Amino acid sequence: MSVDNHRGRENPPSRRRPGARMMSARVAACAGIGAGVLLATAAVAGADVPQPTIFTPVSTPAFIIREIAFFVLGITAAIFVLVGGLGVYSMIRFRRPRSDDGAEPPQVYGSRQIELAWTVVPILIVVVLFFVTARYIWGIEHRAQEADALEVTIVGHQWWWEIRYPKLGIVTANELHLPVSDAVRPMPAYLTLESADVIHSFWIPQLAGKMDVIPNKVNRLWVDPRRTGTFVGQCAEYCGLQHGGMLLLVTVHTADDFARWTTEQQASAPDAPAAAAGRELFSSLACISCHTVRGTPANGVFGPDLTHLMSRSTIAAGVIQNTPKTLRAWVEDPESIKPGALMPAMKLSGEEVDKVTAYLLTLK
């Protein structure tokens, strides 16, 4: 698209050469393929840097998706080779000989065998693909939930993810923490997906397929990450200006680390005396009608729970790293970091911003 726009600026439509549009479409297609290859290469090269990829699954639904993707790719590749091969063979074998007199060759109509073959064979292929896919989907969707399974409720908002652990009494945002689920100690997590506003789509390619997050409808998903690590995801349904700024970070812990994280998150906000002035200022502002800091008057639910804000590595739903500097900039003017973000600038003085930031930095 950008290539097309760029060319459009050079050549207004009225003066465009014929075929320029087709060329730019081709350039765009090549750029798309190039970007895909780059992404795949990056996934292989940067094993440490988390990349959203379907090629290195870590959870059963993602393994199943990769398996079926390769199965479909295998069938379609065989069709491509057969059809392309026959095409190339025909072009070479039946190219125009020097002795050709230019007369029209004999025409063939109505071969029952050929017509049956190209009707029946594709139908069989589609039927096989349909039943194989249906079997896999059934297998994923009808897994029986264990009574003591971990439950997580994820609520899509414009433009961040609310993450609740109802059985554990934890509320956080944008960074999902899960225990590893190995053969010795299976610990699948059951995710309940809800939306507070528009349709979003929850997608962590290494864990499971996309699942729409729809207002007034509850969707479910389960994941069983088999190894520890960090995995990334992204809202996958256009949901407004900051759709692209709605990232997800998943940390998979060992059972002990997950228990430690749980205990830390269950605690109320620490009460640091040094930040008392900032806390008072924060409590006097409209911040508290949108944000919750457990153990304080702040109990709003429109924005992310800030009780353990500093335990999160990013802010603004993964748009920037969570550092004192970026946090200050965010408090001062969210719009400058994430245009369209629904958190307003509170029009604080520089000194007030410093105080509020100093308080937020104590919310470990």
Using CB under 6 A as the criterion, which residues of the chain lie in contact with ligand CUA when the complex forms?
156, 159, 200, 235, 237-239, 243, 246
Cβ 265 to ligand CUA, closest distance in Å? 24
The Cα–Cα gap between 114 and 75 comes to: 21
Cβ 205 to ligand CUA, closest distance in Å? 15
What letters, b where the CB count within 10 A reaches 16 and e where it falls short, cover 8-25?
eeeeeeeeeeeebeeebe
Cβ 64 to ligand CUA, closest distance in Å? 25
**Between 58 and 247, whose beta carbon lies closer to ligand CUA?**
247
**Between 61 and 318, whose beta carbon lies closer to ligand CUA?**
318
Task: Of 65, 46, 311, give the one whose Cα is nearest residue 204.
Answer: 65
Task: Using alpha carbons, list the distances in angstroms from residue 73 to 29, 80, 116, 135, 316.
Answer: 20, 10, 25, 18, 38
Cβ 131 to ligand CUA, closest distance in Å? 32
Q: Length of the chain, please?
A: 364
What letters, b where the CB count within 10 A reaches 16 and e where it falls short, cover 289-315?
ebbbbbebebebeebbbbbbbbebebb
Partners of 76 in beta bridges: none
Cβ 183 to ligand CUA, closest distance in Å? 35
Regarding beta strands 219-223 and 211-213, do their DSSP bridges make them parallel or antiparallel, or are they unpaired? Answer: unpaired
**Between 221 and 246, whose beta carbon lies closer to ligand CUA?**
246
Question: Angle CA(354)–CA(360)–CA(364) in degrees, nearest 5?
Answer: 140
**Between 243 and 355, whose beta carbon lies closer to ligand CUA?**
243
**Between 207 and 235, whose beta carbon lies closer to ligand CUA?**
235
* Contact indicator for 174, 319 with CB cutoff of 8 Å: no
The Cβ-side half-sphere exposure at 168, using a 13 Å CA radius, reads: 25
Cβ 194 to ligand CUA, closest distance in Å? 13
> For the chain, first and last CA: distance in Å?
43
**Between 27 and 196, whose beta carbon lies closer to ligand CUA?**
196
Cβ 193 to ligand CUA, closest distance in Å? 12
Cβ 281 to ligand CUA, closest distance in Å? 32
Here the tokens at position 40 are 């795949």
**Between 200 and 308, whose beta carbon lies closer to ligand CUA?**
200
**Between 51 and 158, whose beta carbon lies closer to ligand CUA?**
158
DSSP state of 141: H
Find tokens 């944008």 and name the residue. 174
**Between 246 and 275, whose beta carbon lies closer to ligand CUA?**
246
Partners of 179 in beta bridges: 253
Cβ 239 to ligand CUA, closest distance in Å? 3
- Tell me the Ramachandran region of residue 70: left when phi exceeds 0, alpha when psi lies from -120 to 50, beta otherwise: alpha
